[in-house]
């Protein structure tokens, strides 16, 4: 069935909730887990499910994403597979930007229709999960569904953040409510299975993952709902009464990386002894750019629950519960606790390092005798010696030239230069 499916990954809008990480890059291009990009997750899920005709739709800050896609996803010349960027473009019949998820797919149909398929799989570009789409497609086909929506059981605390579904005994969706208030939740309890009920996860939430029969998708976007701009808020609720819409319940790990807090938590969770997202699963490989980098070098450092990417040179005193990205450098006597350090895009030469030292400028990376906690350090930051940055609930939300504070997490902006002795 996978050969009859094409995939469309929605790159998202301006990504304001992930600012400042999205100040110079689109949301799918944000680095994750020290060496990947967010877009690698849905693309890898597709490839692992034998779906290799993939478009990524984007319109904001797309240069770094274009470069990553071009340098990473190159299939054999004997294969029909591809991963292509479809950026918003002005045309005679539509001079505007993408106005929403459905409008983005609608404007891209002229490109998608050139490739034959029975089904169109629509995915978000900012979620962390590992799913076999083949199984979802098979159930969609066997049931005779016209639309399938991937759903995940959630608890009472999370339910108001999602579109919530009710289903019948055949897993067909019978009703839908967008972000319900807590006082009506009792009417939206579903039979999610004994294991999910035991965890208090009694509500079926939409994951924003859809399968459409190809012809129906075209009819909906070009005729029936030609003015609708969003799948979740408009097309799905209106389609439930008219078409056979199936719920595909997914019980694995899934998180929507929509804001700084969820992004931070998802990255640090990778350091757990048995992380909820398994980077070490040979059946679910996470693909990314193949860089020819040397191994990490560590000297005199106590490491506790820490991931360190290749080409890093670490002389720190202690690193704990942290993710250290590619080409990171950390100086003597420094302690890093609960941080995501993205690393660097390039190596500084020995001459550049010496030149910076003469000028009194910090090198790329973290200097000596620093203490940094609850922090996201974006790419190419230069942090001097004796710097102390401690994030937490005591800090108010703020946005400065060098850093942003959100939910108590300090985010050092890309290319920021933090002087010696700085304290926050």
**Does residue 102 have a cis peptide bond before it, meaning omega lies within 30 degrees of 0?**
no
Given this model, what pLDDT does residue 269 score? 96
pLDDT score, position 346:
92
pLDDT per position as a tens digit, 326-342: 999 999 999 999 999 99
Q: Is 187 helix (H, G, I), strand (E, B) or coil?
A: helix
Task: Identify whether the C-beta of residue 365 lies closer than 8 Å to the C-beta of residue 344.
Answer: yes
Strands (E), 12-52: 31-32, 36-37
pLDDT confidence of residue 90: 54
Domains of the chain: 2-269 (3.90.550.10), 297-418 (2.160.10.10)
**Tens of pLDDT along the chain (424 residues)?**
556 899 999 876 667 889 999 998 888 899 999 999 999 999 999 999 999 999 998 776 678 888 898 889 988 887 888 898 877 655 556 656 566 678 788 877 888 888 889 999 999 888 999 999 999 999 999 999 999 999 999 998 889 988 899 999 899 999 988 888 888 888 898 888 899 989 999 999 999 999 999 999 999 888 887 777 778 778 888 888 899 999 999 989 999 888 999 999 999 999 999 999 999 988 899 999 989 999 999 999 999 999 999 999 999 999 999 999 999 999 999 999 999 999 999 998 888 888 888 888 899 999 999 999 999 999 999 999 999 999 999 999 999 999 999 999 999 999 999 999 999 9
Percent with pLDDT over 90 in the chain: 59
* pLDDT tens by residue, 54-89: 999 877 667 888 889 888 998 888 788 889 887 765
pLDDT in tens, 302-311: 999 999 999 9
Structure token digits, residue 187: 């009417």
pLDDT in tens, 354-392: 888 888 889 999 999 999 999 999 999 999 999 999 999
Q: What is this structure's pTM? A: 0.92
Please name the residues in contact with 47: beta carbons below 8 A apart, sequence gap of 6 or more. 287
Percentages helix, strand, coil for the chain (3-state, rounded to 5) are 25, 30, 45
Note the pLDDT of residue 307. Answer: 97
């Amino acid at each position: 069935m996978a050969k009859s499916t094409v995939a469309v990954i929605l790159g998202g809008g301006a990504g304001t909730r992930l600012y400042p990480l999205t100040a110079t890059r689109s949301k799918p291009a944000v680095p994750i887990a020290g060496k990947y990009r967010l877009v690698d997750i849905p693309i890898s899920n597709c490839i692992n499910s034998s779906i290799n005709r993939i478009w990524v739709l984007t319109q904001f800050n797309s240069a770094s994403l274009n470069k990553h896609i071009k340098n990473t996803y190159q299939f054999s010349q004997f294969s029909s597979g591809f991963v292509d960027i479809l950026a918003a473009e002005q045309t005679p019949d539509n001079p505007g930007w993408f106005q929403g998820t459905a409008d983005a797919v609608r404007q891209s149909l002229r490109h998608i229709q050139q490739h034959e398929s029975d089904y169109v799989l629509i995915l978000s570009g900012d979620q962390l999960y590992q799913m076999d789409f083949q199984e979802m497609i098979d159930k969609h086909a066997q049931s005779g569904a016209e639309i399938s929506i991937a759903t995940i059981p959630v608890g009472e605390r999370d339910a108001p953040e999602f579109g919530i579904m009710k289903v019948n005994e055949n897993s067909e969706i019978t009703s839908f409510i967008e972000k319900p208030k807590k006082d009506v939740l009792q009417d939206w309890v579903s039979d999610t299975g004994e294991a999910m009920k035991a965890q208090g996860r009694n509500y079926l939430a939409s994951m924003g993952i859809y399968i459409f029969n190809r012809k129906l998708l075209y009819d909906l976007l070009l005729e029936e709902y030609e003015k609708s701009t969003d799948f979740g808020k408009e097309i799905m609720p209106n389609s439930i009464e008219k078409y056979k819409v199936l719920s595909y319940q997914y019980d694995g790990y899934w998180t929507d990386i929509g804001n700084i807090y969820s992004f931070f938590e998802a990255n640090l969770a990778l350091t757990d002894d048995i992380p909820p997202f398994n980077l070490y699963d040979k059946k679910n490989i996470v693909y990314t750019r193949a860089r020819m980098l040397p191994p990490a070098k560590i000297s005199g450092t106590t490491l506790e629950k820490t991931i360190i990417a290749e080409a890093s040179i670490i002389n720190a005193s202690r690193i704990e519960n942290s993710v250290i990205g590619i080409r990171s450098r950390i100086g003597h006597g420094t302690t890093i606790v609960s941080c995501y350090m993205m690393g660097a895009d390039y190596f500084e030469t020995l001459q550049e390092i010496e030149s910076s030292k003469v000028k009194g400028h910090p090198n790329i990376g973290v200097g000596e005798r620093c203490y940094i906690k609850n922090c996201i350090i974006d790419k190419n930051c230069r942090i001097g010696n004796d710097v102390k940055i401690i994030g937490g609930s005591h800090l108010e939300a703020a946005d400065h030239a060098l850093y942003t504070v959100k939910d108590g997490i300090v985010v050092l902006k890309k290319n920021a230069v933090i002087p010696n002795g700085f304290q926050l």
